[in-house]
Amino acid sequence: MKFFTAHATTASKIVTLIYIFYRLIVIFMLGNSIYMQEWSHVALLVLTLILFMLPYLIETYLHINIPSLLELIVISFIFSSTVLGELNDFYGHIPVWDTALHALNGFLAAGVGFSLIYLLNENITILKLTPLFIAVTTFCFSMTVGVAWEFVEFSADRWLNMDMQKDRIVRQINSVDLGQRNNKVVQLKDIQRTTIESETADGKKVTTVIHNGYLDVGVIDTMKDLFVNFIGALFFSIFGYLYSDHEHKRFLFVRNFIPTRRKF
């Protein structure tokens, strides 16, 4: 994180203040979660603090300067997804919260991928990458990040008993398991009710009834996340292509996503 110096810009000071504000909130919530013995929350908050340090570590060890706007978007995205989204249930209170964040993630990850390949292209002389190659690589990088995050969500649900891959009520399913012959697809339409019978740790039988549909446990959420990540990645890749193809004379906002090498 950019710390205050005599030459610090107003933008970097604002980023630092917001970073401190976010970090204090996370530390307070971490202490409360430890006291309440909410260990899944503790794990997520510790991960948040680690992710907050990434821009500072990248700048320090890779000797580059990250644009203030990019840094602000990164830390705000982390805070919005973990603290607000998961721990304060913004995903439940605001239906478009998850969709918006994943679209932003696709756009942001594409920006990071573009900056990496752009810096590589600017600092090598034996080979020059074409704007189309840079755009395709940018897109692939963003989609890889999106898939990796879905792995994180699945792992958290599987091993930390969380629900990052949100459940969804659906009214129709297609299944070959319900068919009388192998690979015969059975389509169930207009599902009215689903009954789930389970058992607690002490052996007590529990019956849960879901009205007006069937409970999908994450597949639709995952695919929706990847689709909007695709849209965000595609948009930035197009802008990155046009920026590179016009010799950096148009779409100048892309510069806000390009780190620069630190001068010693």
pLDDT digits (tens, 9 = 90+) for 224-263: 999 999 999 999 999 999 988 876 667 777 887 777 776 6
- Please give the helix or strand (H or E) that residue 208 lies within, else none: strand 205-211
pLDDT of residue 39: 85
For residue range 170-196, list pLDDT tens digits in order: 888 888 777 666 778 888 888 888 888
3-state percent helix, strand, coil for the chain, nearest multiple of 5: 60, 10, 25
For residue range 73-117, list pLDDT tens digits in order: 888 989 998 899 888 888 878 888 988 999 999 998 998 889 888
Asked whether 190 and 172 are in contact (CB, 8 A), the reply is: yes
| Average pLDDT, integer, range 113-137 | 83
Tokens at residue 99, please? 């969709």
One DSSP character per residue, 94-123 reads STTHHHHHHHHHHHHHHHHHHHHHHHHHHT
Asked whether 240 and 129 are in contact (CB, 8 A), the reply is: no
pLDDT of residue 233: 95
What single-letter DSSP state applies at residue 21? H
